[in-house]
Structure 1
Amino acid sequence: MDDTSNQDQAIELLQELGLKEYEAKSFVALARRQSGTAKDISETSEVPRTRVYDAIRVLESKGLVETQHSSPQVFRAVSIDEAVNTLQTEYVERAESLRDALSGLEPTDDETVTEATHEVWAISGDQGITSRTQQLIEGATDEAILVIGHESIFTDQLAEQLRAAKGRGVNVVVGTVDEELRIAIQDALPDVEVFVSELDWVSRSPLPGDDTEISRLLLTDREAILVSSFTEGRYDGREHEQGVFGRGFDNGLVAIVRRLMATGLLVENDPREGEA
């Protein structure tokens, strides 16, 4: 990645973390030098000089910039580590405030909330599916069976979640589509059972013209299922993850996947199957 790409990405990420465009550009301009005046920042960032001062005041209030009250004033960015920690703390605090605000909302109807066990919900986007994966693994009490269809799914974060589940007594089983991926995951999770899955349809469809790539298949406590696949975006041509989620032992989707996994030697027969 060249310098221009790094600069553009840094500005974009800073905006996603809550800074406005001129604030992000001014901070990146300062991060590239030891210190600078408003004129220096404007020339480096292409932010109008009259707007630099406004941006600097905001950055200073956030603890991202320090000011030397000379003539002219000189500014400098805090260290990269300090800036990242400051923004991370603010992001977490905002997320917690959002949680409190949403939790305090009054329901718009008087119906009693009951947990649906026969519904199937669609989930779109890598972040949403990754978040639901984490939620299911962290909520598992007895068993978590995960089939990984693509190496990009197995991240350090996912490894830590599986490791934590194993540590609290959950039976964790991981299936992979090939031996190379199995070895990599086994090295990362030496205490977890990892093997090449016999579910051939995960990596390749038996149907002609079907090139859908299953990315992950997760079954927790035999009562909740998440299945996702990669699909090419209609407008940007990039691969996006799409998934479906269902909960409930007698949910049709959960029952089908549970039995398919059983045929792939991933799970033993469950006595409750006779009751489904």
Structure 2
Amino acid sequence: MDDSELTDVLEDAGLSPYQAEAYVALLGLGTASATDIADSCDVPDPRIYDVLRDLETKGYIETFQQDSLTARARNPDVVLEDLRSRSSKYLNAAETIEERWNQPEISDHEVSIVKRFETVVSRARELIEAAENQIQVGVDPEQFYAVREELIAAHDRGVNIKLSICTGAGEDVPPLSDIEGTCAEARNREIPAPFFVLVDRTWTCFAPHHDSVNEYGVLVKDRTHTYVFHWFFLTCLWEIWDTLYTERTPETPTTYVDLRHAVRDIEPLLNEDATIEAVVVGYDTETKESVELTGRVTGIDYTGSNIGRTDPVPLAQLAGRISATLVTDDGTYEVGGWGAVIEEVEATEITITNVEYE
């Protein structure tokens, strides 16, 4: 670094142009009189005395009388500490600017638009790590491996995970050995689709698929908006596509995280006069407190319901109000699905523990 560059840096560090020039000149001279210092830089003679006193006040130099005012640079420890501190602040500022550009503060926003796909994936991984109840995922094979470890950990915690793997022409799905342990059920959509992660009915991470012209992502923390994304997942990424993998067996209790799917299976059983025992986990819609109810499902109700039908009810017919009646030892409860208001309980998990026929 030459004298000119060093002078510029010292000015950035808070010295005036004259102070910076005088200090750089004194570093080269060692010990020198005020007039010699002025002759070695562009500081005017009448100003050199004030400049040197200011540098002494700042701790850069010390002055003394020796025929005339003489100065020498002090041990640079104080100067170096100041410069390094400023350097650290600049570095921290640069890192903060980069971080905020990549990922804006989300906690105070309901919807955030981000510029980089990597930001969406990073946030999705964090949310999967923190998931408590349910996750819906739509990914291509490469993206699957980007979140696979987090999915395994969430699955091990008991989180219910639905995984849609979206493949393009000539693209293979991951082997079942890699899918096993990441989800309760996986399906294959044979068309490319956006990156999609929905967590606990609250958070959504969404980004257009890699062939999109624009690179951006949407991060949503809002139950109402997330409900719209939930229906995108059901209709576009899930309902019509073939099952790749499922943990469900005839011997295991059937657990649902969506009342609509439960109703589709329960309705035919009720039509056959079956006794259906179930455990419902969810929230009291009035107090918002967590509840867990055990009892018998004795009825279902949804817009346009048709008792006696033999075919599964179309998903679109379940888009409106839907509820199930649960009779427990403590009373009878109306159980609703996502966003329930009229019913007494919003169910987040329904487990059918036993089905008996008379």
Given the two structures, how large is their TM-score scaled by the length of structure 1?
0.43
More strand by share: 2
Report which of the two structures shows the higher radius of gyration computed on alpha carbons: 2
